[in-house]
Structure 1
Amino acid sequence: MKPTLPPCAMAPEMYQDEILLSPPSRRDVTADEWRDYLTKRASAHRRCAGCDVFDACLYRAVVDVDVTGFLACTSEAERRRLRRDLGIEVQVDSSPYGTARVGGGPVDHAEVLGARKAHPDDTCRQLAERLGCSTSTVKRHLRQEREGRGAVVATIDKPTMGQVLDAFDRLDTSRRV
């Protein structure tokens, strides 16, 4: 059976429309521009809400990755509100020293060692790109292993899928279609 693509992959232009990427303030636009925005948002919302991967997309967009634009039936501002309601932050690493880790979470020590073992000729930067973390993170884990200190475990309390969906249900826009 051939997998079905999500609506955002089948009609990316709908979800990348400038008006959805930067929603207007009602008081800053004409009535026609506001109706156009509401129509486009409702169309994208209906398609998103019926998507097979909606739950996972919403969870990832709220908890793991600080993404831009309209996805999972939410705007950036709504996802910020969901994070605030859930008491979480998604860290964005803007360091020039390597690729930012998606979601800003810690990289697993065993994952770094496994990547080194699988790709022994890669530079630390190449390993970092493979793992989605900074070069300094790879170097730190490899140094800890050489020095026999092993992993430093960091725990992050993430909300459950149910908590994210409940917070989404409290949004006014979650009920508008």
Structure 2
Amino acid sequence: MHSPPARTDITAAQWEELKVKRAWAHRRCAGCPVLIDCLYRAIVEVDVSGFVACTTESDRQKIRRQLGIQVHQTSTTPYGAPRVGGGPVSHEAVMSVRQAYPKDTCHQLAERLGCSTSTVKRHLRRAREAKLIEATTHKTEAVSNLPTVDAVLDAFDQLETSRLA
């Protein structure tokens, strides 16, 4: 689900299996009580990777283009030196690796850093919470340019994949 192969790269049986898995994920996600908030945030506020709110990264890019919006990453810090040896992993190291490898799973990031998955998740959660606090305390002039929830839902409804769930 995270980075699906192209149809031409796999067999017909593998493609069918992928379609079944995707439909299952859509049904589970569509039944979530916070789907609308999750979809809006994934489209308008945060450029997340992977399958979120019944959408892939490609789906979210299509919706953003349709709505005429862009989500800017907050950090342009390049990936730092690889971690060697023990000791705590700094917040900056985790965020740098996430920036360098935005499509990696938490497990893959942990392997790159030589730490546990829970450490990566803790730092990513901390960054999300800090960004949320910053967003709620510092209103910008761009707020008036943000699409409404209804506009995001209308664009979502136009996706072919939205019909799976």
Q: What is the TM-score when the length of structure 2 is the normalising length?
A: 0.61
* Residue 47 (structure 1) aligns with: 28
* Residue 6 (structure 1) aligns with: none
* Native 8 Å contact 2:2 2:51 kept in 1: yes
State the identity as a percent: 49
Q: Which has the higher Rg, Structure 1 or Structure 2?
A: 1
Amino acid paired to 1:132: K
Q: Which runs of 5+ in 1 are unaligned?
A: 1-19, 101-128, 134-150
After the TM superposition, which parts of structure 1 deviate over 4 Å for at least 4 consecutive aligned residues?
Answer: 97-100
* Residue 131 (structure 2) aligns with: 132
Q: CA deviation at 1:62?
A: 0.5
CA distance in 2, matches of 1:27, 1:175: 23
How many residues are aligned here?
Answer: 113
* Native 8 Å contact 2:30 2:53 kept in 1: yes
Helix, strand or coil: the match of 1:155?
helix
Q: Which runs of 5+ in 2 are unaligned?
A: 79-91, 97-126, 133-137
* Residue 101 (structure 2) aligns with: none
Determine which structure has greater relative contact order: mean sequence separation of CA pairs < 8 Å that are 6+ residues apart, divided by chain length. Answer: 2
Amino acid paired to 1:170: Q
**RMSD, matched Cα:** 2.6
Q: Cα distance 1:90–1:28, how it changes in 2: closer, same or farther (>3 A)?
A: same
Helix, strand or coil: the match of 1:51?
coil
Q: Is 1:73 paired with 2:72?
A: no
CA distance in 1, matches of 2:3, 2:147: 27
Q: Is 1:175 paired with 2:163?
A: yes
Q: CA deviation at 1:95?
A: 2.9
* Native 8 Å contact 2:29 2:35 kept in 1: yes
Helix, strand or coil: the match of 1:52?
coil
Higher helix share: 2
Amino acid paired to 2:46: V
Q: What is the TM-score when the length of structure 1 is the normalising length?
A: 0.57
1:31 to 12, 18, 33: 12
Q: Is 1:165 paired with 2:148?
A: no
2:42 to 53, 61, 84: 61
Q: CA offsets per residue over residues 24-82 of structure 1, 9 Å max, x none? A: 11111111110111011000000111111110010000000000000111000000000
